[in-house]
Structure 1
């Protein structure tokens, strides 16, 4: 007999993208997942792809928050070996930052965003403890 996994998530995520009268788009995401905490989401975008990207980011943000909260890790606790040495753990650190930039060019919008530490200071940061052997590849910068 197959064991039932209590953490098993079932359901679907339906995405509908609708053209608005103003030529912009709204993306509606309707999750029917068994653990999803809220109802449908609507996100607006300049293009179909932009609306979808924003909606998926909001969905990912909800799941990042859930993953971090469920770990219930004390931020300052350090586990130590029997000899008293700190035991290093592995963490997936996700940094999310958005802003509306009014600049002369796309280059200026990017350049002025990455100047200084404002991105890190104003970002939403999620820290999730992970196993050392989990195959997670962090996203790379555009210029790598």
Structure 2
């Protein structure tokens, strides 16, 4: 059974509600009395360190991508206070967390291997240079 309070990251990855914690706090910035009275900002904490949904490689990439949003305990903390409505900030935080996890799910490309140019390609390049040099030399002044 799928938990309605969980977070669907992709068709294969679903974060259960037990791995998520939400705390509503007062937002900072302009807004007058509304900001001082209502806790509309949300702090969404993904307990990635103890989550069994993600593999260790994905967790390592997630912590690297999270940067300062990752805690020492292995959690990822997303703060959202862009909107005036608590529910919209909650959706925004969940969307941002899902995007971050989706990005961590993609494995990095393999490192580039250096290749040497073939002898034929080196010869062709030098022939082209010589031909171009001859053309330019023929443009010079004619000696008497």
Q: Which has the higher contact order (CA 8 A, sep 6+)?
A: 2
Report which of the two structures shows the higher radius of gyration computed on alpha carbons: 2
TM class by shorter-chain length? 0.3 to 0.5
Structure (1/2) with the larger strand percentage:
1
Give me the TM-score of the superposition, normalised by structure 1. Answer: 0.37
Q: Which structure carries more helix by proportion?
A: 2
